Amino acid sequence: MKNSSLWIRTGIIVAITLIAIIVVFGPRGSVASKDFTWEGIKANLANNINLGLDLKGGSHLMMRVKIDDYLKTLATNNKDAAVNAAKELQLPVSEGSIVAEKDNYQVKLNITDAAKKAEIIEAVKKKVDFTNWTESSTDTTINWSLPAQTQKVMGEQAVEQALKIIESRINAFGVKEPTLQRVVAKDSGQILLQMPGVDDPERVKKLIGDDARLELMKVIGASNPSPMTTYPTRETALQSIGGQEGGSRKVLPFMERPDNATNQPAQPNNQPTAWVVVETPAIVDGNELRDAVPVSRTGNDNDYQISFSLKPAGAAKFGDWTSKNIGAYMAVVLNDQVKSAPYIKSRIDDQGQIDGRFTKKSAEDLVLTLKSGALPAKIEYQEERTVGPSLGADSIRSGVTASVGGLVFVIIFMLIYYRGSGINAVIALVLNMLLTMAGLIWLDSTLTLPGIAGLILGIGMAVDSNVLIFERIREEIRAGKSIQQSIDLGFDRAFVTIIDTHITTILSSVILYLYGTSLIRGFAVTLILGLLINLFTAVFVSRTIFMWLLSRKAETQKLSI
């Protein structure tokens, strides 16, 4: 009876070991002769194990989409559009205002004639999307507020949109194997970007955060042939619109390009040459962009400009506006700076260009950001970790040295202290490490520095399991039991303890995994794996080896322990 079960146990162990060896050291794909050489095995191992950025080098960037900023912009734009819509029809709206605090976003219109309230609401809603807003009104005000649920949905959409845009920017930039994911609580607006191999993320960071907001706006003031109305300072520009921005007016700096730019070195500090007043909202903005390309006039590196074309909907809007405003000056606004201000000669449908002193690199980056669309809200960086490849390699080396050194020490001790049975423990330990590695690869999990800490704790508990069992067997032998009985009792009693210690630790690791940050998760995963595998190696495998020893000599009187 014993022998058949012993063979089954052995078969299970051998099969699992072989599978693990193939998973850890085997090639992905077809087998070649080089897979049996030392170099080939090393290469396969490096290929199979998915190292975290802290070990292989790379950048880890945590950013947050400023949802509050997004909702504030939304409220402001809706307010401007609502005021414009009412004023266009000469309805009695004196002014608009917004409330934008934490979780409270409102648009308010002050009206001067209560009788026309319904008419105003109707006119505004025709032009402005207030579908999900809660409407309320008194005789003097109309109020739209954003319900909490809608805020959440909109925030969610903004983050998803930002995620897509960032993804397209990174891909276009050519980062290899980036991972981009939303992290922690869904409504925190946090996005984690990991870029292996990138150890100076400044350019990528700038590219992502750059909010290349293109707007085409009407310049307020005289039309062609008189020159464009400009102001020497921001203050004088503000005075012309009654001291403050608001309603549908905004003051922007004009960063004019010098006429003979081609022969001049780039100006070190761009000071605005003048200020202009423009009308909000914009005629069309970057969302309507179909394509943009950098174009060089002379071929010099610092002489690039960007020509763009618009999508059909934007083109229709733009065509409509240009045909009605022939002679007016139109500002090409990039990130709240007027880059150029041509006047409208005739109806234009879908072509335009941004002048400016761009270098080839900056023009290319700008085109990239323009094409991927405007970010719905600003991005703020919260965490940045970079590890150069050499530092990562050092960490692996010291981690591996410490682990291997510890393991060798433990093995020597076990062999001296438990003699013959020490071999048992050593087999169990080595198998444990092999299977944990195989488990990590099978789960496609990444091995990080905290992960190595989890691995070490797992090995510590594996050693402890062996010690518990062996000490118990020794105790039973001391108490005068036969070898067979001592081994059975030792395993049975120690098993209860091992189960309890393992379940406790697995349980707390699962909780750590569920609630912890990504670093803590790395620790939890390797620890859980190591412990589950230890239940197999320290109990099942070790016991099978003892069973083999006993089966050879039925009436063993001595056990090397």
Residues 30-89 that bind other proteins (CB under 8 A): 62, 64
Are the CB atoms for 540 and 9 separated by under 8 Å?
yes
Residue closer to other proteins (CB basis): 108 or 250: 250
Footprint (CB under 8 A) of other proteins, residues 514-533: 515-517, 519-520, 523, 527
Q: Could you tell me which residues come within 8 angstroms of residue 125 by beta carbon, excluding any fewer than 6 positions away?
A: none
- The two tokens of residue 148 are 């909490």
- We find the least distance from the C-beta atom of residue 24 to other proteins, in angstroms, to be 23
Footprint (CB under 8 A) of other proteins, residues 231-250: 234
Residue closer to other proteins (CB basis): 60 or 543: 60
- We find the least distance from the C-beta atom of residue 531 to other proteins, in angstroms, to be 9
- The two tokens of residue 420 are 């013959």
Q: What is the DSSP string of 188-245?
A: G-EEEEEEET---THHHHHHHH----EEEEEBPSPPTTSPP--BSSHHHHHHHTTTS-
Name the segment binding other proteins (CB under 8 A); options: 31-39, 383-391, 427-435, 484-492.
383-391
**b/e per residue 103-128 (b: at least 16 CB within 10 A):** eebbbbbebeeeebbeebbebbbeeb
Residue closer to other proteins (CB basis): 141 or 398: 398
Residue closer to other proteins (CB basis): 398 or 551: 398
47 class by beta-carbon count within 10 Å (0-12 exposed, 13-18 middle, 19+ buried): exposed
Q: How far apart are the first and last CA of the chain?
A: 26
- We find the least distance from the C-beta atom of residue 423 to other proteins, in angstroms, to be 15
For residue 509, state whether it binds other proteins (rule: CB under 8 A).
yes
Footprint (CB under 8 A) of other proteins, residues 465-504: 467-468, 471, 474-475, 477, 493, 496-497, 500-501, 503-504
Residue from 463, 483, 487, 547 binding other proteins (CB under 8 A): 463
For residue 174, state whether it binds other proteins (rule: CB under 8 A).
no
Are the CB atoms for 146 and 133 separated by under 8 Å?
yes
Footprint (CB under 8 A) of other proteins, residues 92-151: none
Residue from 450, 483, 541, 542 binding other proteins (CB under 8 A): 450
Residue from 35, 199, 285, 349 binding other proteins (CB under 8 A): 199
Footprint (CB under 8 A) of other proteins, residues 389-408: 390-391, 394-395, 398-399, 401-402, 405-406
Report angle CA 9, 11, 17 to the nearest 5 degrees: 105
**Strand pairing class (93-101; 134-137):** unpaired
Residue closer to other proteins (CB basis): 26 or 197: 197
Residue closer to other proteins (CB basis): 88 or 200: 200
- The two tokens of residue 444 are 């496609």
- We find the least distance from the C-beta atom of residue 453 to other proteins, in angstroms, to be 5
For residue 381, state whether it binds other proteins (rule: CB under 8 A).
yes
Q: What is the DSSP string of 462-477?
A: HHHHHHHHHHHHHHHH
Q: What phi and psi values does residue 38 have, to the nearest 5 degrees?
A: -60, -45
Residue closer to other proteins (CB basis): 145 or 466: 466
- Beta partners for 93? 111
How many chain residues bind other proteins (CB under 8 A)? 82
